[in-house]
Amino acid sequence: MFKESKQLREERQLLIEQSRAIVTDAEKEFSDKKRDNKELNDDENTRFDSFLDDIEKKNTEIERVERSAKLTNIEREKIEEEADRSGDDPDNLEETKKRTTEAFGNYLRLGMSSLDRQFPEQAKLLEERAQSLGTDSEGGFLVPDEFSGEIEKALKAFGGMRDVARIITTGTGQNLDWPTNDSTGNKGEFIAENAAVGEQDEVIGNVQLSSFIASSKKVKVSRVLMNDSFFDLDGFLSDALGERIGRVTNEAYTTGSGVSKPTGVIHGATIGITSASSTAITFDELKDIQFDLDPAYKSNASWMFNNSTLKAISKLKDSENRYLWQPSTQVGVPSLLLGDPFTINQDMDSIAAGKRPLLFGDFKKYIIRDVQGIILLRLSELFAEKLQMGFIAFLRTEGKLIDAGTGPIRVLRQPST
């Protein structure tokens, strides 16, 4: 896994150097007076865009490989923590989880009644799990951890918010009060001997996290395919369901109105600066918004923007002619912009009049609250006349920026004209 990630990063670095050579050559021709301006022509822009597309593909591959390794380690840590709480052996617990996943796969193909007849031990295993979690064995199941892990990978692949936000899971969907406190203006005092001390109360605020229902919509699968042992039904469903829920929830975490869906980080962020141009971002404006953030949040700060904004930023240089974007070639070390990492989120606005294309701050202050986990329903009869089976996944979730009044995330806004 380490070797694969390192090789991908080296391949990405070569693509970056090739793309930058296009810009450098254009600037040299301008300085040698072989062209009237240093702007890229149509052919150069096409080649530059092609390199950026390839770079983005490499970014996706790198994220997938490194996230898979990270999730594998996290899953093992979860097993060891659960085993420690229950007093069970970690290897035995891991084996039980694998058997549960296998039983769940057979349930997807056969349904509970047929599973009970053909694999009674697996049916009993699922029923015991359903009873312990309070789910309906006929109506739907909370998906097993291994299956859920695959869906989690798909959820994270679409957007970026789940990569940087703080994620909590609760057992119920009741409204959750999250206290806030802004004490940045409070400080102690010096007093004279025998003088009385002053008094200053702390003001406690509150942000309430509710829960909304995100649906994958119905996913139809041919029964013929389902009965084919070579068809990876588990993988197909985890990808399809995870992608659908990942897309709709990431959009809500980013730009959601808060009405029947989460409140997007864009709406909770504090206006940092308004750019001078409605169609461009400058080096100085990036520095301005970086320093506009309270230093208390700087240690965890990162950038967020979409790929087209990264394209514009990738052409910017500082006063010493160095590119602002510094891609990393080391495994586990993120690429940097002005010394801070960044996240690509395609649900962010592109650079345009009246838009908010760039965020900078501590994204751990954005809370994603999931209720239990993914629930999957198996629809046995609805599409029977077409020899198909239906599946629907649901996730109860909420997202909201926790801001006690100091603006942990700043947004760059562009003027309307």
What does the pLDDT read at residue 171? 81
Q: Which residues of 51-63 are buried (b: 16+ CB within 10 A; e: fewer)?
A: bbebbbebbebbb
Lowest mean pLDDT among 6-15, 82-91, 259-268, 395-404: 82-91
What does the pLDDT read at residue 395? 92
Helix, strand, coil share (%) of the chain residues, nearest 5: 45, 20, 30
% of the chain exceeding 90 in pLDDT:
30
Provide the pLDDT confidence category of residue 198 given band limits of 50, 70 and 90.
confident
Residue 91 DSSP symbol: H
% of the chain exceeding 70 in pLDDT:
82
Nearest to 157 by CA among 345, 309, 11, 327: 345
Three-state SS at 22:
helix
What does the pLDDT read at residue 235? 79
* DSSP code per residue over 289-335: HHHHS-GGGGGG-EEEE-HHHHHHHHT-B-TTS-BSEE---STT---
* Mean confidence (pLDDT) of the chain: 82
Lowest mean pLDDT among 124-128, 240-244, 258-262: 124-128
Q: Which residues of 173-189 are buried (b: 16+ CB within 10 A; e: fewer)?
A: beebeeeeeeeeeeeee
Q: What is the pLDDT of residues 377-416, one digit of tens each?
A: 888 887 878 888 888 989 999 999 998 778 999 999 999 8
Query: Does the structure show a pLDDT above 90 at 282?
Result: yes
What does the pLDDT read at residue 276? 94
Output the CA–CA distances (angstroms, integers) from residue 144 to 79, 105, 238, in the order listed. Answer: 13, 10, 11
Provide the pLDDT confidence category of residue 133 given band limits of 50, 70 and 90.
very low
